[in-house]
Amino acid sequence: MINKIAGSMEDAVADLHDGASIMISGFGEAGVPDELIEAVVAHGATDLTIISNNAGTGEHGIAALIRENRVRKVICSYPKMAAAHHFNARYQSGELELELVPQGNLACRIEAAGSGLGAVYTPTGYGTILAEGKETREIDGKQYVLEYPIHADFALIGAYAGDRWGNVVYRKAARNFGPIMAMAAKQSIVQVSRIVELGELDPETIVTPGIFVGKLVLGSPVNAGESA
Amino acid sequence: MNQDKAVQRLSREDLARRVARDIPDGAYVNLGIGIPTTVANFLPADRETVLHSENGILGMGPAPAEDRIDWDLINAGKQPVTMLTGGCFFHHGDSFAMMRGGHIDICVLGAFQVSVRGDLANWHTGAPGAIPAVGGAMDLAIGAKQVFVMMDLFTKTGESKLVDHCTYPLTGLGCVSRLYTDHGVFELGPDGARVIELVEGLSIADLSRLTGLELAMAPADSPA
């Protein structure tokens, strides 16, 4: 019998190891798997590479991992945010490596990893300092930059509901990077607000098929005032 | 900076209103963070415009009432928004395919500098020690069918932001087709900048002098 449901946050992140690369879903606060990140902090794994759109703000989430000095490198599109003081301090002291990637290139490089592609030619960034030193090619009169896939050992994903086969649906704009990160990591760990019986999710509307999910764990209810 | 009181510079609101006028019925539009977002307030009610947000929304609506805020429903600037009937959600891969794939009709962006040939600099001042952050700026710049920039024509210290060559780090090459400013509207392309509209009290000679560029009016039959 397939049962991907982990009994606790601690169990969900039990396979983590030092030096791991970890994708973390979310855009702003929407879709950030807060409790899974807290579990990573508690787990103690260090020397991590974090792949996420932002680099955390305040004292929780990715910011907490950076504060606890667990992160060696961040790959993201937009680390500059209000209250990103832990990122700023470690970046400016040179303790934290940053690979800045245009958001769409971040998305397509993650998709390339999940889809088994060797690389992608993308028009984004051509002629800018973010493409310096990279191979370029003219295709049908347009210029492209060669960008390589971003793989990860783990993906931590915040979603809405899932079943024991790992089928997942999301809520509103909290979907963002979840579905593509789930495809790109060796083990995807999904935090949901509801665990439902097999068959309860409409097969027509499942967003992330269970094949992309390694573990599923029950987290807190949806983060918004509005219900459903 | 123009000191002449007779020059009727457009206010921020009038500039947003002017940009909104050029967004046709049925257009799929991405409004950049900051000033471009205000264009949404002036989209004519008799036109159906579908707003795209990079974080996975089509059919984005205005800000909610305070008691209806939902932090799973935010825009690219991480502010709470609403959905219009007919709107939908999708993941980041699809969202940026909409941009990169040329499916978005119009994107409106702010800028530090724009070159007469449409090069855009809007993501980084290049200042030492600044935290670099690019977000979706480079994807938006090169992806949409048409890229509009709206900005003040001059910096606070009077330097033209429309330039021959950008000195700030580039966001995209030759990507801006239309520039809307508080002094006038410009068409940009491989052959350089042409002026489509000037605000009242400003001559093309004044504008050339102030910007340090050799500017000419676009032919009258040019699409405006």
Q: Which residue of B93, B170, B173 is in closest CB contact with A107? A: B93
CB pairs under 8 A between A and B: 148
Catalytic residue among B54, B66, B187, B200: B54
CB distance from B25 to chain A under 8 Å? Answer: no
Instruction: Tally Cβ neighbours within 10 Å of residue B197.
Output: 15
| Of residues B114, B97, B112, B119, the one with CA closest to residue B52 | B97
Nearest CA in chain B to A208: B91
| Of residues B59, B52, B48, the one with CA closest to residue B26 | B48
pLDDT tens for each residue of A21-77: 999 999 988 999 999 999 999 999 999 999 999 999 899 899 999 999 999 999 999
Inform me whether the pLDDT recorded for B75 exceeds 50.
yes
Touching A: B residues 104-143, CB under 8 Å: 129, 131-139, 142-143
pLDDT tens for each residue of A171-205: 999 999 999 999 999 999 999 999 999 999 999 99
Question: What value of ipTM does the predicted structure carry?
Answer: 0.95
Token duo for residue A20: 């791991």
Chain B residues lying within 8 Å of A142, measured CB to CB: none
Dihedral angle sign, alpha carbons of residues B109, B110, B115, B120: negative
Q: How far is CA A189 from the centre of its chain?
A: 10
The DSSP annotation for A155-205 comes to: EEEE-SEE-TT--EE--GGG-TTHHHHHHHEEEEEEEESEE--TT-S-TTT
Tell me the C-alpha distance between B38 and A157, whole Å. Answer: 33
b/e sequence B111-145, b meaning 16+ C-beta within 10 Å: bbbbbbbbbbbbbbeeeeeebbbbbbbbbbbbbbe
pLDDT category, B4, cuts 50, 70, 90? low
Q: Which residues pair with B121 in a beta bridge?
A: B113
| pLDDT computed for residue B3 by the predictor | 54
Mean pLDDT, rounded, of chain A: 95
Tell me the C-alpha distance between A76 and B145, whole Å. Answer: 26
pLDDT tens for each residue of A122-161: 999 999 999 999 999 999 999 999 999 999 999 999 999 9
Determine what percent of chain A is predicted with pLDDT higher than 90: 91
DSSP code at position B220: T
pTM value is 0.95
Q: Which residues pair with A122 in a beta bridge?
A: A145
Q: Which residue of B56, B143, B170 is in closest CB contact with A175? A: B56
- Residue B99 near residue B141, CB atoms below 8 Å: no
pLDDT tens for each residue of B95-125: 999 999 999 999 999 999 999 999 999 999 8
Average pLDDT of B181-198? Answer: 97
Instruction: Strand A185-192: give its sheet, edge to edge.
Output: A97-100, A71-76, A48-51, A21-24, A152-158, A185-192, A215-218
Dihedral angle sign, alpha carbons of residues B149, B150, B153, B159: negative
